[in-house]
């Protein structure tokens, strides 16, 4: 049976269509979910896409965190549902307290849009098991509020527990502490990433095919998950 991966659309979402396309290319069925509907439609995993949910008012992701769909999603994620938050989706996961820390204004106060090398470090998550530890990948980054910050104790805990999923290599585009580009929760089913893997799944439009591994990883994870 084909896995069904939900992609949530919020007012101001920008990359929901791209995320759905990446899901389809990976071999799953994308299921469009609406911010105002708490029904997850029985999906096997969920992607929170990039964009500017609710216009990024208050803080990025701060309003989206209270959307009806998030009430259901938070409980499902805590129950083991795989969830990938990309860019704005990462911000929403932090606002919803599914991931620690916060994403703040880029230190240089400029929007950054470029192809970025990452080093994948945690490969035991639902979204990164297709990679090798230490593998370097190239995917686009585009953000104005992508600077990951947390207190020293939280950063040390992420390091000690192997929950830093990926780091920036060859230059930090936003000033994120310890070059952090992606993190995971203790269970490994929730991952937040600031760069955009959904923009690196086709040779025609992306700088590489490296982003596809995030989407094939969750399919591999679902096959191995208990029924």
User: Which residues participate in catalysis according to the annotation?
Assistant: 87, 196, 198
Q: How far is CA 121 from the centre of its chain?
A: 15
Beta-strand pair 4-9/45-48: parallel
**For residues 74 and 133, is the Cβ–Cβ distance under 8 A?**
no
90 sits in which H/E element = helix 88-95
Neighbours of 112 (CB within 10 A): 17
The angle at the Cα of 15, spanning 12 to 21, to the nearest 5 degrees, equals 140
Residue 88 DSSP SS3:
helix
Residue whose tokens read 């701060």: 62
Closest CA to 110 of 194, 170, 173: 173
């Amino acid at each position: 049976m084909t896995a069904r991966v939900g992609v949530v659309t919020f007012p101001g979402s920008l990359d929901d269509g791209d995320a759905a396309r990446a899901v389809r290319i990976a071999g799953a069925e994308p299921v469009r979910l609406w911010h105002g509907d708490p029904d997850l439609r029985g999906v096997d995993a969920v992607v929170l896409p990039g964009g500017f949910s609710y216009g990024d008012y208050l803080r990025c992701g701060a309003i989206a965190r209270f959307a009806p769909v998030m009430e259901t999603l938070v409980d499902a994620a805590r129950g083991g549902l795989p969830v990938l938050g990309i860019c704005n989706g990462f911000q929403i996961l932090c606002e919803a307290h599914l991931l620690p820390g916060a994403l703040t204004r880029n230190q240089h106060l400029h929007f950054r849009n470029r192809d970025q090398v990452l080093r994948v470090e945690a490969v035991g998550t639902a979204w990164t098991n297709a990679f090798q530890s230490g593998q370097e990948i190239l995917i686009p980054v585009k953000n104005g509020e992508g600077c990951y910050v947390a207190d020293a104790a939280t950063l040390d805990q992420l390091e000690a527990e192997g929950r830093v999923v990926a780091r920036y290599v060859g230059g930090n585009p936003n000033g994120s502490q310890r070059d952090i580009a992606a993190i995971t929760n203790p269970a490994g089913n929730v991952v937040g990433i600031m760069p955009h893997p959904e923009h690196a799944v086709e040779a025609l439009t992306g700088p590489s095919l490296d982003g596809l591994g995030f989407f094939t990883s969750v399919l591999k994870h679902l096959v191995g998950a208990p029924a």
